[in-house]
Amino acid sequence: MLFVMENVKSGISAFRFHDITWRYVGQSPPSPRYRYIYYLYSLILNIIVTFGYPTHLMIGLIQSESKADIFKNITINLTCLGCTIKTLAFWWRLADVRKIYALIQRLDQQIIQSDDVQFYNSNAFRRTKQVLYFDVCVGLGAAIASEVATLIAGVLGNWRLMYPAYFPFDYERSVLGYIAAHFYQCFGVTVQIFQNIINDSFPPMALAMLAVHVRLLNMRLVRIGQRPKRVREINDAELLQCVEDYKALLDFRAAIQRIASIGTFVQILVTAINMGVVIVYLIFYVNDIFSYVYYLLFLVAMPLEIFPHCYYGTVVEMEFNQVTYAIFSCNWMDQSAAFKKNLLIFGEQSLRKQIIIAGGMFAVNLDTFFATLKRAYSLFALVFQMK
C-alpha cells in the first residue's frame, strides 16, 4: 500500500468562495474582536438589500397599472423574494455547513492509496469548480444583460429603471433621483446575485463532493480481501471502517438535505412559475429587441439554476445504489464468520434509497427537473387560454 496522505487536497478548500462571500453578505461573523461592528454591518446590509430590495419591488408591483408592468415585475419579484427566503433558510442552517466541513475532513483522512488520491484530486475539485463557475456565469450573465438592456434603452431615449419599483422620491423628474434609484437597484441586485450564487451552488457542490466520497468507499470495499497475504483480522477491521464511513456519508447526505430542503423547494416553485410568466410576457408584451434578448436569457437561466442540484442529486442516488454491489464484490467468501455476518447486515442497510427531498415533497433529481419544465409549460398553456 502506498501512503500518500500528504498529497490529498483538503475538500473544504473547494468552498473557499462561499466562506468569503458569506462574510461579505453579512452571514458569517469574523473574530470576536470585530464581532459587534460586523453585526451592525450585517444588520444594515440585510435591511437595505435582503429585506428592502424585494419590498420595494413588491410595492412597485402593487402600484403597477398596465398588464405589461405586472408581468414584467412578477418575475423579478418572485426571484428576489425567493432569494431572501433562501438566504434566511441558509443562515438558519449554517451549523449544518460546519458539520459538513467536519465530515469532509474526516472522510479525507481515509484517502490513503495513490489511486484514491488521484481520483479524489481530479474529480472532486473539478466537479465543484464546474458547479461554481456555472452558477457564477448564469447569475452574473443575467444581471449584466439586464443592465446593458437598460443602458441601451436609455441611450436610445427611453431612460427607465432595471425593474419597475417603488421609491419615496420622484426619480422620473430628477437626474439625481434617477441615478440614486438606478444605483440602488444595481447594488441590490448584485448583492442578491451573490447571495443566490452561494445559496444555489453550495448544495450541488456538496452533493458532488458526497458522490466522490461514496465512489471512493465503493472502491475501498471492492479491494477488501483481494490482495494476497492479508490476514482476516485486517479485512475485518477494513470492513468495520467502511461501515463507519458509510454512516458518515449518511450524515453527510442528511446535512445536505437539511440545508437544501427549503431553498431548493422555493427555487423549484419559483422556476416553474417564472418560466410560465416570462413566456407569456415575451409573446404578448415585449416590443424591443434588447428586452427580448434579456428575458430570453432570463428564461434560459432560471431552469439552469436548479439543474446542478438535480443532476448531482441523481449522481448521488446512483453512487449509493452501487454500494450494495461493491459490498458483495469483495472477496467475502474467504473471510471469517464475523466478517460475513457484518457484511450481510451492511448489505441490508445499503439497500435503502438515498434520495434528497426538497420541502418534504420534491425529490432532487433529474426527474424533478424535467417535471418542473412541464409545469412551466402547463402554466403557460393555462394563461394562454385565459388570454
Q: Would you state the pLDDT for residue 208?
A: 95
Q: Please state, in angstroms and as integers, the Cα–Cα distance from residue 341 to each residue in 48, 51, 166, 184, following that order.
A: 60, 56, 68, 65
Query: So what's the pLDDT on residue 310?
Result: 92
- Grid cell 426538497 is found at 358
The average pLDDT across 222-247 equals 84
Q: Domain limits of the chain?
A: 5-386
pLDDT at 109 over 50: yes
Mean of pLDDT over the chain: 86
Query: What confidence category does residue 331 fall into, taking pLDDT thresholds of 50, 70 and 90?
Result: confident
pLDDT in tens, 235-247: 888 999 999 999 9
Q: What is the C-alpha separation between 86 and 197, in angstroms, rounded? A: 11
Query: Can you list the pairs that 96-104 forms with residues at least 24 positions away whose Cβ atoms lie under 8 Å?
Result: 96/255, 96/258, 96/259, 97/202, 97/259, 99/251, 99/255, 100/206, 100/252, 100/255, 100/256, 100/259, 101/12, 101/15, 103/248, 103/251, 103/252, 103/255, 104/10, 104/11, 104/12, 104/209, 104/213, 104/252
Considering the chain, what percentage of its residues have pLDDT values greater than 70?
Answer: 94
Cα dihedral 272, 278, 279, 280 sign: positive
Sign of CA dihedral 61, 67, 71, 76: negative
Cβ atoms within 10 Å, residue 364: 31
Evaluate if residue 230 carries a pLDDT over 70.
Answer: no
Residue 10 has a pLDDT of: 87
Residue 380 is predicted with a pLDDT of 67
Q: Name the residue with cell 415585475.
A: 73
Give residue 47's pLDDT.
Answer: 94
Give the confidence band of 384 by pLDDT, cuts at 50, 70, 90: low
Beta bridge partners of 358: 362
Cα–Cα distance measured from residue 225 to residue 213, given in angstroms and rounded to the nearest whole number: 21
Single pTM value for the model: 0.88
Are the C-beta atoms of residues 195 and 50 closer than 8 Å to each other? yes
Q: Average pLDDT of 373-385? A: 71
d(CA 273, CA 71) in angstroms, rounded, equals 11
Task: Report, as an integer, the average pLDDT of 36-56.
Answer: 92
Report yes or no: 265 and 362 within 8 Å, Cβ to Cβ. Answer: yes
Task: Please write the tens of the pLDDT for every residue from 335-368.
Answer: 888 889 999 999 999 998 898 998 888 889 999 8
Q: What is the predicted pLDDT for the residue at 50?
A: 93
Q: What is the pLDDT of residue 145?
A: 75
Q: Which range, of 52-61, 175-184, 268-277, 378-387, averages the lowest pLDDT?
A: 378-387
Q: Dihedral of CA 10/110/94/80: which sign?
A: positive
User: How many whole angstroms separate alpha carbon 364 and alpha carbon 370?
Assistant: 11
pLDDT at 3: 41
pLDDT at 2: 41
Q: Which residue has the higher pLDDT, 201 or 150?
A: 201
CA distance linking residue 283 with residue 318, whole number of Å: 40
| 356 touches 319 (CB < 8 A) | no
Dihedral sign, CA of 87, 89, 91, 94? negative
b/e map of 289-327 (b: 16 or more CB within 10 Å)?
Answer: ebbeebbebbbebbbbbbbbbbbbbbbbbebbebbbebb
pLDDT at 203: 93
Q: Is 356 left (phi over 0), alpha (psi -120 to 50) or beta?
A: beta
Q: What is the pLDDT of residues 151-170, one digit of tens each?
A: 887 777 778 888 888 888 88
Higher pLDDT, 49 or 6: 49
Q: How far apart are the first and last CA of the chain?
A: 70
Segment 370-377 mean pLDDT: 79
Side chain identity at residue 209, one-letter code: M
Query: What angle is formed at CA 276 by the lines to CA 272 and CA 280, rounded to 5 degrees?
Result: 165
Residue 229 has pLDDT above 60, yes or no: no
